[in-house]
Structure 1
Amino acid sequence: MDSKTAIKDIKQGRVSPLYVCYGTEKYQIDEFIALLEKHVVDEEQRDFAMAAFDLSETPIEAVIEEAETLPFLVPRKLIVVKDASVFTAGRDGGKVEHRLDSLTAYMANPAEHSVLVFVVQGEKLDERKKIVKAIKAAGTVLSFMPMGSGELAAWAVKQAEKRGCTMSREAADALIAASGVQMAALAVELEKLCLYAGSGGVIDESAIAQLVARTTEQNVFTMVECIAGLKLEQALDIFYELLKQREEPIKIAALIARQFRIMLQVKELGRQSYSQQQMASQLGLHPYAVKIAGEQARRFETAKLRQVLSELAQLDHQMKSGGIDKVLGIELFLLRLGA
């Protein structure tokens, strides 16, 4: 089952007694748990109807004991269990030993008065483990991975609508370009923008430029975009702004090199017919970053990208060895690239 189906079931009153949530998108997992809390627990009874455990500190048999214990003054309780590394590959680094047979026995006959949620910090579960196979058969296992570029922009537009504001798809793209792809950070920026626009207001690109502070990484990302679009003056303006913010030129050069390296990798994987999602998985990047890198890479030949990376490697050595002034080195690099 996917997360959208699970959310729909919960809203319709069909709640599973056992969930396993894994993936890298923590914001989505937190939202899912908040939805469960809303539908399982009455707000006035929260103190009696909720329990939280951490498997790095608590043995799993104690969690099962809590799940089997009848709730006090409430019909049902929600138990959230974090750091559930018993479902992932590798040895559990914690000092606590877990009797997984207690969980296996519980899955065969879960308590009707408890909803048990395991939160796994990792991209995937270890399919070789018996406990993973058992929980897939008995419970609801949900993956929360980064959205694709189109999905993320659509999500941002929808979040603005929920807050009573209107935002175009172009504005959503501008927000992602400025704030990054982390949903938690985007949610904070959306809240700020909606307060600025007011109920029924419109969030446009000018408001985003005015209110959303770019990180160093996002500024370098935009700088490379300007370079790719042969907008040298704008690229230099961003560089000088980063210097005003006291960013180290060596760090800026390293981030530029990273972006050009991603462009080269995306170009090579594209030749091998990799999809955007496959590239993101292979490179450990968000699909949106892969999409933008692909658009940037189309403006450069493969040989040119290799040449740029070689020049950046030489520049890095010169700056670190004192062979060239750091600021002058990056200025000359940008001027050569723009030419």
Structure 2
Amino acid sequence: MEYKEAVKQIKQKKILPIYLCYGTEKFLMNEFIQFLTNEFIDPVHKDFALIHFDLTETSIDQVVEDVETLPFMVPNKLVIAKNASFLTGTRDKSKIEHQIEKLEKYINSPVDYSVLVLYVNAEKLDERKKIVKLLKKQNYIISFPSLKPNELSKWVQNRVKKNGSYISQQAIETFILYAGTNLQTLDGEIEKCCLFAGVDQEITSEMIQQLVVRSTEQNIFILVDEIVKKKLDKALTIFYTLLKQKEEPIKIVSLIARQFRIILQVKELSSKGYSQYQVSSQLSIHPYAVKIADGQGKLYQEEHLVDILDKLAELDFQMKSGQVDKVLGVEKFLFQVNM
């Protein structure tokens, strides 16, 4: 089930006895659990009605026992258990032994006064497992995958609107380019920009460039975008900014190489008929980053990208062996790729 459908059902007071939440969008998952909590539990009952467990410390059978126990002084209760890694294909590193049979039995006969929420920050569940099949059959599973590019843009737009301001599509692109794709980070930066702009005022690209705090990786992402657009002056400005932030030129070159490697890989996979979402899964990068890399790759022949990567590899060797001044080496590279 998609989380939007689950939200719709909860608003209609159709609350399921069990929810298994999984996926890579932790922010949306936490937001959903908070929404469920607010809808199901009266705020004055939270001390007795809201119970948290960590499944790396507590067995699932103990959690189920708590779920089945009658609430104390409240009409119902919400039991939230994180780190349900026994539902994935990854090896559970904790020493806790989970009696899955207890959960299987409960799924077939849940109580009506409790809601159990299991969640795990994992891209996939192990659908070969009996317990996962059973949860899926009952439609208790909600996925929180990375947002597609158009979904991410819409999310930013809605978040800005919720904060009382508005933003153009061009400014949304700038926002994501500068702030990245992490929803927690984006949410904080959106709130800051909305406060600066004011109610019913527009958030502009210039405002975003002035206010948004960029990580090193995001600066490299923008630097490479300026290289692709043949904007040497802007690429150099970002490079000098990174130097002022005490970033090592060798690290900068490594990150530039990583980004060009992604552009080449996206180009190769796209030429084989892979969709952007399939490429995202294959390379383990956000779909929005794939969209940007796909557009950048269309401006290059594969041979040109290979040549750029060769130049970066050679520069890396020269810098590490002391054959070239690090700063001058990067400046020379930027001039060469902008010719």
| SS of equivalent to 2:78 | strand
Q: CA deviation at 1:133?
A: 1.0
Q: What is the rounded CA distance, in whole Å, between the counterparts of 1:90 and 1:184 in structure 2?
A: 25
1:332 aligns with 2:317: no
Aligned counterpart, 1:196: 196
| SS of equivalent to 1:31 | helix
| SS of equivalent to 1:58 | coil
| SS of equivalent to 1:20 | strand
1:226 aligns with 2:226: yes
After TM superposition, the runs of 4+ consecutive aligned structure 1 residues lying more than 4 A away are none
Q: What is the rounded CA distance, in whole Å, between the counterparts of 2:225 and 2:324 in structure 1?
A: 26
Moved more, 317-326 or 49-58: 317-326
Aligned counterpart, 2:105: 105
Q: What is the rounded CA distance, in whole Å, between the counterparts of 2:101 and 2:225 in structure 1?
A: 54
Aligned counterpart, 2:4: 4
Q: What is the rounded CA distance, in whole Å, between the counterparts of 2:73 and 2:157 in structure 1?
A: 41
1:1-339 alignment to 2 at 5 Å?
Answer: 1-339=1-339
Contact 1:27 1:183 in 2 (8 A): yes
Q: What is the rounded CA distance, in whole Å, between the counterparts of 1:246 and 1:5 in structure 2?
A: 47
Contact 1:17 1:139 in 2 (8 A): no
Contact 1:18 1:139 in 2 (8 A): no
Q: CA deviation at 1:138?
A: 3.0
TM-score, structure 1 as length reference = 0.98
1:77 is matched by which residue type in structure 2? Answer: K
Moved more, 161-170 or 15-24: 161-170
RMSD of aligned Cα (Å): 1.0
Gaps in structure 1 of 5+ consecutive residues: none
Contact 1:20 1:139 in 2 (8 A): no
Number of aligned residues: 339
Identity of aligned residues (%): 49
Q: CA deviation at 1:91?
A: 3.0
Moved more, 20-29 or 224-233: 224-233
| SS of equivalent to 1:19 | strand
Q: What is the rounded CA distance, in whole Å, between the counterparts of 2:24 and 2:91 in structure 1?
A: 20
Q: What is the rounded CA distance, in whole Å, between the counterparts of 1:325 and 1:75 in structure 2?
A: 71
1:45-101, Cα deviation, whole Å (9 max, x unpaired) = 111110000111001111011100111222211111001011011432111111111
1:191-248, Cα deviation, whole Å (9 max, x unpaired) = 1111112222221112111110211111111111111111111111111111111111
| SS of equivalent to 2:260 | helix
Q: What is the rounded CA distance, in whole Å, between the counterparts of 2:12 and 2:170 in structure 1?
A: 34
Gaps in structure 2 of 5+ consecutive residues: none
Contact 1:56 1:94 in 2 (8 A): yes
Moved more, 64-73 or 86-95: 86-95
1:148-171, Cα deviation, whole Å (9 max, x unpaired) = 111101111101111111111211
